[in-house]
């Protein structure tokens, strides 16, 4: 399954609890889109969040994020890893 890295901007001041809550909301419905969110990293100072997922398409990743109320600003397929 392809991997994706999506990026959210404008999340300044995000707390650990808010990140956890958003991630849990994604996990709760991700299987309906055959997506799995593996990990997320947040920089609350600049308001940037990075989410790593396995998914059938970028659109599927975005659909999960949209349904849980936090649309991604960028969804990148990341076919190369090291």
Binding site for its own copies (CB under 8 A): 3, 5, 14-16, 19-20, 23, 39-46, 48, 50, 52, 74, 76-82
Q: Nearest distance from residue 34's CB to its own copies, in Å?
A: 20
The span from the CA of 12 to the CA of 63, in Å, is 23
Closer residue to its own copies (CB): 41 or 71: 41
**Closest by Cα among 53, 49, 43, 54 to 70:** 49
Q: Nearest distance from residue 48's CB to its own copies, in Å?
A: 5
Q: Which helix (H) or strand (E) holds 21?
A: helix 16-29
């Amino acid at each position: 399954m392809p991997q994706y890295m999506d990026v959210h901007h404008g999340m300044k001041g995000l707390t650990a609890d808010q990140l956890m809550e958003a991630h849990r909301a994604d996990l709760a419905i991700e299987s309906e889109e055959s997506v799995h969110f593996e990990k997320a990293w947040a920089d609350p100072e600049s308001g940037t969040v990075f989410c790593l997922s396995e998914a059938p398409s970028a659109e599927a990743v975005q659909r999960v994020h949209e349904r849980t109320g936090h649309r991604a600003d960028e969804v990148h397929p990341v076919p190369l890893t090291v």
